[in-house]
Amino acid sequence: MRRVTLTQFLIEQQRAGRVSADLRLLLEVVARACKAIGVNVSKGALAGVLGEAGTDNVQGEAQKKLDVIANEILLQANEWGGHLAAMASEEVETVHQIPFDFPKGGYLLMFDPLDGSSNIDINVTVGTIFSVLRNPEGEGDPTEESFMQPGSEQVAAGYAIYGPSTQLVLTVGKGVHAFTLDREMGSFVYTTPYMTVPEETREYAINASNARHWEAPVQRYIAELQEGKAGPRGVDFNMRWVASMVADVHRVLTRGGIFMYPLDEKCRAQGGKLRLMYEANPMAMLIEQAGGAATTGRERILDIKPSKLHQRVPVVLGSKSEVERVTAYHLEA
């Protein structure tokens, strides 16, 4: 059986008119950066990359050493290729401009360089999330306003997951496709075409330690799941929580289910827990492309027009019927 690499897949997408040459090359650069991040993650204590960096990111969160390393790998890999107008990172306060001595392209790249970094020191799955927008026509150097586009304008989104194997999960607006890193070849190989979120599920992912802070619709929904066969759903549900969005969403894409980080009293003042542009939008695009749904509990995530670079939102995504149920409970309330 012929093995198709990521490069071959993207060339075919370009021939089919789904991606431009620049977008194809940009995605290849991102993939190479993810391979480099995966190497650093896999070395762990051998490379002295575990533990705290001694700095805080723009959100005031303590950075791990690998947060800083992953961020630098992505910035440096994507500066010089000529495909980007600018970048934005969850770890950096302002827009990262392309250095003046490098050519500029027509795209904007956003990323969470190392999602789930609280799990690094205990050797649990982490990942990288990325999103691509077009730079609005007629602009010079992009500003923060250039990035203020709803998620429905994304031209590509994906994540790399660094687990027992390293995988790249990608959409360019025509389905969701998974690639597995062949370490001997050094290439991502096409392994799962057209991933689909199963419609029926008996799994859910939520941070149960926040239960006392949840709004009534979420408490209602989770209570129904916990009642199992004796409750209104008539079946038993299992809770899964890795505390790495990449890992939890990858499970939803693979096995179905629902992932929730809803609005609660702890994060209400911030508008939510997860970042719209670095986490919610790319994951929402992937889930919708795989036949699922993604809302805040009140509205479709991809319809939200951002108002600031590090905006936070509630996230409810996964199997369509479950997401619709949670959203209906919110709207009834």
* pLDDT digits 0-9 by tens, 150-209: 999 999 999 999 999 999 999 999 999 999 999 998 999 999 999 999 988 899 999 999
Question: Any binding-site annotation on 101?
Answer: no
Tell me what pLDDT residue 66 has: 87
Which pLDDT band, with edges at 50, 70 and 90, does 56 fall under? Answer: low
What's the mean pLDDT when you consider all of the chain? 93
- CB-based burial of residue 212 (10 Å sphere; 0-12 exposed, 13-18 middle, 19+ buried)? exposed
Q: Any known ligand binding at 175?
A: no
**156/63 Cα distance (integer angstroms):** 27
Annotated binding residue at 118? yes
With 70 as the cut, is the pLDDT of residue 43 above it? yes
User: Any known ligand binding at 264?
Assistant: no
Look at residues 160, 161, 138 and name the one whose alpha carbon lies nearest to residue 27: 160
Give the per-residue pLDDT at 64: 75
Contacts with 61 (C-beta within 8 Å, 6 or more apart), sequence order: none
Domains of the chain by range and CATH?
6-192 (3.30.540.10), 203-332 (3.40.190.80)
C-beta of residue 307 within 8 angstroms of C-beta of residue 148: yes
Q: Is 279 annotated as a binding residue?
A: yes
Pairing between strand 107-115 and 84-89?
Answer: parallel
Is the Cβ–Cβ distance between 251 and 125 less than 8 Å? no
17 touches 148 (CB < 8 A): no
The reply to whether 303 sits in an annotated binding site is no
Average pLDDT estimate for 82-98? 93
Of 283 and 48, the structure prediction assigns the larger pLDDT to: 283
Rounded Cα distance between 206 and 35, Å, is 29
What confidence score (pLDDT) does residue 138 get?
A: 57
Annotated binding residue 51: no
**Residue 58 pLDDT > 80, yes or no?**
no
Interval 273-302: pLDDT, tens = 999 999 999 999 999 999 999 999 999 999
Question: Residue 194 has what pLDDT?
Answer: 97
- Is 116 marked as a binding-site residue? yes
Share of the chain above pLDDT 70, in %: 95
pLDDT category at 65 given cuts 50, 70, 90 is confident
236-258 average pLDDT score = 96
Going by pLDDT thresholds of 50, 70 and 90, the confidence category of residue 306 is very high
Residue 122's pLDDT is 87
C-alpha span between 96 and 41 (Å, rounded): 24
Average pLDDT, stretch 222-246? Answer: 95
- Encode pLDDT of 259-277 as tens digits: 999 999 999 999 999 999 9
